[in-house]
Amino acid sequence: MGWSGSIPLSWALPTTLCSSNFLFKQSCLPVPAFASHELHFPINEEANSDYEVSVVVQRSSINCSRSFWLSRTNKNSRICASQVKVEDTTEDETCELVNGVELSIGEGDDAINAYLCTAVKNNNGTGILLLSDVFGFEDSATRDFAYLVACNGYNVLVPDLFRGDPWTKERPKALFEEWRARQNPEHIAKDIFISADWMVNEFVAAGITKKLGIIGFCFGGGQVIDILAHDQGGCFGVGVSFYGTGISTSAAANIRVPVLFIAGDNDPLCPVNNLKDIGKEIEHQKIVVFQGRGHGFVHRPESPEEDEDAEKAFVIMRNWVHDGLAIET
């Protein structure tokens, strides 16, 4: 079914997008909410756009309950298609209704594909830019996490950093460096700022919030530092780097906003000592280290124990983003 016009208000987008074409299709990804609670766990803490938007959609209306991470490993959970509900005998927490939309931002060679998740109920009007790992913006783990963040009231944009050429698990590892060399840092930074400009137009220019948040995993976690250093508080008000790779200590010295680092102490790709050195260059920062955890444990947990730490890390991240952006609203 084709449709042209503005996005319905029921989609909870703060402003209307132009040049829109919609094709509707249900998605089946679970999206939980998280209750605020006191945490006790083994961690160490150190301290106006020029871009047109054309929308070709996969619209997702999703409602679910309880923890996403627990639902990955709990065999007693029931997952239903279309509007997703996860039911079991444990604690039941009702989530926001979340919509997912495929976007194309810009025109011609500058056009960028992206995925936008928006909270339908209690949308706080705040934009979050989520930068993926090397597996790209279509990877299910990244989209799952985008849903989780949107479930807490945010509007989350996940851009295609690799222009349709993400790394895939099927490729021989021997080809990784060759693939990595094809990813132009300047082009990636340009695409991130194009995405940020679009979000500024949609959320900041609408007078809903003064700043955006930025979150990244692995490759994207390293990009968070580079982007914040270049931005210097221009459009981003807070950042979160999950086990970021390739982080520049010299770039960190130019950051002017609060940054949260989350990593494991068993991660050779993101050594804790490096994070401590980087943290010394940032005035307002916090380093949270989970003992015994390796790379990717938050958005790609592989055991019930990692599921538990992933949920704790999410709560820490959620509170950091809320507190950082609350100052700017």
Q: What is the pLDDT of residue 327?
A: 52
Residue 196 three-state SS: helix
Question: Residue 208: left if φ>0, alpha if ψ -120 to 50, beta else—which one?
Answer: alpha
Among 42-56, 111-125, 184-198, 220-234, where is mean pLDDT lowest?
A: 42-56
Q: Which residues make Cβ contacts (< 8 Å) with residue 91, sequence separation at least 6?
A: 35, 66
Q: Which of 95-99, 169-173, 238-242, 306-310 has the lowest mean pLDDT?
A: 95-99
What's the pTM? 0.74
Question: pLDDT confidence of 95, banded at 50, 70, 90?
Answer: low
Q: Is the pLDDT of residue 13 over 50?
A: no
Rg (CA), the chain: 19
Whether 250 has a pLDDT exceeding 60, the answer reads yes
CATH architecture label of 9-326: 3-Layer(aba) Sandwich (3.40)
Distance CA 33, CA 281 (A): 34
Mean pLDDT of the chain: 75
Query: Within 13 A of 327's CA, how many CA atoms are on the CB side?
Result: 12
> Per-residue confidence at 124, pLDDT binned at 50, 70, 90?
confident
Euclidean distance between the first and the last CA atom of the chain, given in angstroms as a whole number? 39
Nearby residues of 52 by Cβ (< 8 Å), 6 or more positions away = 18, 19, 106, 107
Which of 43-52, 143-152, 234-243, 261-270 bottoms out in mean pLDDT, i.e. has the lowest? 43-52
Dist CA 265 CA 153 (whole Å): 31
